[in-house]
């Protein structure tokens, strides 16, 4: 990095690739590393700066790869190490940085350590790498505490000798004991393994997990009730955001500091902004995902609040703010905003709001095509949430349906096979990359145009925003450094446009008026 230059991620646009669903090269209906390599030209054309690849490591796929059996190898479903090296080399050739997922909170139950633990006695060194405990009640037949799994049901599973092990997610994802020095040393080895292969950074899964409080105290029973079936956590919840987690982030940071130009972004579901900020202190993570825009309704006041809170949360830390509208865990935003034409118009408006903000943007694969969530039939559902919740929560498969690339019928060029791992709607022909690429009105063209302007215009300079007065249901802000103005109308009526020359709009203007469900960039 040049002396004094900003690090590459400071204003980067990341593109999240859900590996199973991006592109399939070998015709098994599941996306893979070669598939990604074959589509790098598309990503360069789109104009993103960096890729985030979801887990492609050896895994029995109980949680589609977030259950890692060997963190230093590629699962044969996705390719092999040679395919990974070729992907990194080619991505760099296309000017794209490559970041990968790291899953330190838990392993797969098929990980050699867990298999050894099952074969070993209570109190053994092998069990010490995980969180095995005796149960409560007569004969230890009740779980050691009242913690629930994020995927539903208790967070404890009993093994044949009577002990219980902790899993904050599925039973196939036992939590590691981060007080164990071997667990720490192994993470360092994993980091170095991928850094030596040329990766530019990591997305840290459940970065607010890992450390557990001494004695594993019960959760507040109200917290159990409030949070059942949700992914949102707060400080009354002893499962997450324990102070000990920051030592682990310092450990990660030390390793990364030995590889200049590399970074880490943590998945941090922490409600309190002051606690969120701890994760991005100068000796911890470079960036923290914040999910405020995911949680905000399509309403100018809620969006403005989300923006203000996100900016304030990181202000004192020097870390860049981050922005996300969708990812592989949440309902796609076209659908959250109402679906159909309305959802699409709103999604277009929010894309321009997000890309106007200072800091780092994460685009989830398919949002640039305007993909909605898919209502899948029961038989197709694969997310462990569906089973764990006793079929009351449908889970996250609906936002993970593979990408449509070309043609008129499923699998729309995603795979040589007609069938993809999740069924693709037959009516997606109009949403393929092929159908959108040359259409100036398409969602894809909007994203390409916006990303190009963001990269080439001086108007996006500076980290600070100033808010203008705006009619109810609307807002307008100006980037203080560069002068870009972004206005959003979430009200039911057209409003006067702020003064300035239009750079880009999410939909047609009505004369000098900004129509409902529309946003605009001006200078």
Q: Which residues are known catalytic residues?
A: 205, 267
**For residue 298, what are its two tokens?**
């399509």
Look-up of token digits 């809170």: 309
Give the CA angle between residues 309, 468, 505 to the nearest 5°: 90
**197 phi/psi in degrees, rounded to 5:** -90, 0
391 burial type by CB count under 10 A (0-12 exposed, 13-18 middle, 19+ buried): exposed
- Residue 52 CA to its chain's centroid (Å): 9
Residues lying near ligand NOJ in the complex (CB under 6 A) = 63, 66, 103, 169, 205-206, 267, 328-329
Separation CA 106–CA 187 (nearest Å): 11
- Cβ neighbour number for residue 472 with a 10 Å cutoff: 10
**469 phi/psi in degrees, rounded to 5:** -65, 145
- Residue 154 CA to its chain's centroid (Å): 25
- 520, 486 contact by CB (below 8 A): yes
Separation CA 250–CA 245 (nearest Å): 9
**DSSP reduced 3-state for 441:** coil
**Longest Cα pair distance anywhere in the chain, in angstroms?**
76
Which single residue brings its beta carbon nearest to ligand NOJ?
Answer: 66
**For residue 183, what are its two tokens?**
């667990």
| Residue 156: its H or E element | strand 156-158
- 21, 326 contact by CB (below 8 A): no
Nearer to ligand NOJ, 49 or 267 (CB): 267
The DSSP annotation for 292-325 comes to: HHHHS-SSHHHHHHHHHHHHHHHHTTTPPPEEES
Residue among 195, 155, 161, 160 at smallest CA distance from 175: 155
- Residue 160 CA to its chain's centroid (Å): 36
**301 phi/psi in degrees, rounded to 5:** -65, -45
**C-alpha dihedral over 360, 366, 372, 377, to 10 degrees?**
-130
Min separation Cβ 27 and ligand NOJ, Å:
26
Separation CA 516–CA 497 (nearest Å): 12
**For residue 275, what are its two tokens?**
């606690």
| Residue 278: its H or E element | helix 273-278
Separation CA 164–CA 156 (nearest Å): 6
Number of residues assigned to the chain? 523
Separation CA 249–CA 146 (nearest Å): 27
- Cβ neighbour number for residue 70 with a 10 Å cutoff: 16
């Amino acid at each position: 990095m040049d002396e004094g230059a900003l690090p590459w991620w400071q204003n980067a646009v990341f593109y999240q690739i859900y590996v199973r669903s991006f592109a399939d090269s070998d015709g098994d209906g599941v996306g893979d590393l070669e598939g990604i390599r074959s589509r790098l030209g598309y990503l360069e054309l789109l104009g993103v700066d960096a890729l985030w690849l979801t887990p492609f490591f050896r895994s029995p796929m109980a949680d589609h790869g977030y259950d890692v059996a060997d963190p230093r190898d590629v699962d044969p479903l996705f390719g092999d190490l040679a395919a990974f090296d070729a992907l990194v080399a080619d991505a760099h050739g296309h000017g794209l940085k490559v970041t990968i997922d790291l899953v330190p909170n838990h392993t797969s139950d098929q990980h050699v350590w867990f298999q050894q633990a099952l074969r070993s006695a209570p109190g053994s060194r092998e069990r010490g790498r995980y969180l095995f405990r005796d149960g409560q009640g007569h004969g230890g037949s009740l779980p050691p505490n009242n913690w629930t799994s994020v995927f539903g049901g208790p967070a404890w599973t009993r093994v044949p000798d009577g002990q219980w092990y902790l899993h904050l997610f599925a039973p196939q994802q036992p939590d590691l004991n981060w007080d164990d020095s071997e667990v720490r040393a192994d993470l360092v080895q994993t980091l170095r393994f991928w850094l030596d292969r040329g990766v530019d950074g990591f997305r840290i899964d459940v970065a607010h997990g890992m450390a557990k409080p001494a004695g594993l105290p019960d959760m507040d029973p109200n917290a159990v009730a409030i949070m059942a079936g949700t992914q949102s956590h707060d400080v009354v919840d002893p499962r997450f955001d324990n102070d000990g987690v920051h030592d682990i982030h310092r450990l990660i940071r030390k390793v990364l500091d030995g590889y200049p130009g590399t970074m880490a972004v943590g998945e941090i579901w922490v409600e309190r902004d002051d606690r969120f900020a701890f994760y991005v202190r100068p000796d911890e993570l470079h960036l923290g995902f914040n999910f405020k825009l995911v949680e905000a309704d399509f309403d100018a006041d809620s969006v403005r609040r989300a923006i203000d809170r996100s900016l304030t949360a990181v202000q004192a830390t020097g870390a860049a703010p981050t922005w996300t509208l969708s990812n592989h865990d949440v309902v796609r935003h076209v659908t959250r905003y109402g679906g159909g034409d309305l959802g699409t118009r709103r999604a277009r408006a929010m894309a321009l709001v997000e890309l106007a903000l200072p800091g780092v943007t994460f685009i989830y694969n398919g949002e640039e095509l305007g993909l909605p969530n898919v209502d899948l039939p029961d038989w197709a559902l694969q997310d462990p949430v569906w089973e764990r919740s006793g079929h009351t929560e449908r889970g996250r498969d609906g936002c993970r349906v593979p990408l449509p690339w070309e043609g008129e019928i499923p699998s729309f060029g995603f795979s040589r096979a007609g069938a993809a791992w999740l069924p693709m709607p037959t009516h997606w022909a109009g949403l393929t990359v092929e159908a959108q690429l040359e259409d100036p009105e398409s969602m894809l063209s909007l994203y390409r145009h916006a990303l190009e302007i963001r990269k080439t215009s001086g108007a996006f300079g500076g980290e600070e925003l100033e808010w203008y007065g705006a009619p109810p249901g609307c807002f307008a802000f100006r980037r203080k450094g560069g002068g870009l103005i972004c206005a959003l109308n979430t009200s039911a009526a057209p409003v006067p446009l702020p003064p300035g020359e239009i750079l880009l709009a999410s939909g047609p203007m009505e004369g000098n008026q900004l129509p409902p469900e529309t946003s605009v960039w001006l200078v």
